[in-house]
Structure 1
Amino acid sequence: MMKMLFKKRDQPFVYPDYYLQLQNWWAGRMSEVTSGLSKTKLICMLILFIVLTGSYFIYNICVTMSADDPLFKNTAAISKVKAINLKK
């Protein structure tokens, strides 16, 4: 089974047409939006994007961990593993 997963393909993977059209549309749109920006502005926007998305994800993790939901706080709610009764 594993050998089949790692076997080299005879034919290359072909993407669906809608995916290629969406990819071309997105590339064209981003070229239009960023065509007038300098390299410095592009790097600043990339850094800003990384900082904003990273802080958003960290915020979501912190809110989830510090929630007052009893599911997260109550360790007694965790059930013990039950043995499986095997018929002999």
Structure 2
Amino acid sequence: MNREEQFRRNNDLFKVFMQHILTTPQFSEKIPQDAEVIFLPENDPELREANLALAKQSEAEGKRVIFVKVTLVPETRTVFVPRMELAQSA
């Protein structure tokens, strides 16, 4: 995987990560300010391995690394869509 593809896939995960931070602010409290966040996606072994290599490089440079395991869980939701019609009376 080239760096551009790795960046694109990580950027997609970053969007999901930020949404999670916005809905669960206490999650970010566990992440040190100076840490590099590395995603470990369970559903994308190629990206996971590339990110592990990136983490090794960062650790070798003396940087603090925090791993975020990403698991896709199927979920079914009921979505209500408004339907409108004209009524003769209430």
Q: Same fold (TM over 0.5)?
A: no
Q: Which has the higher contact order (CA 8 A, sep 6+)?
A: 2
TM range (shorter): under 0.3
Q: Counting helix residues as a fraction of each chain, which structure ranks higher?
A: 1
Between Structure 1 and Structure 2, whose CA radius of gyration is higher?
A: 1
Q: Counting strand residues as a fraction of each chain, which structure ranks higher?
A: 2
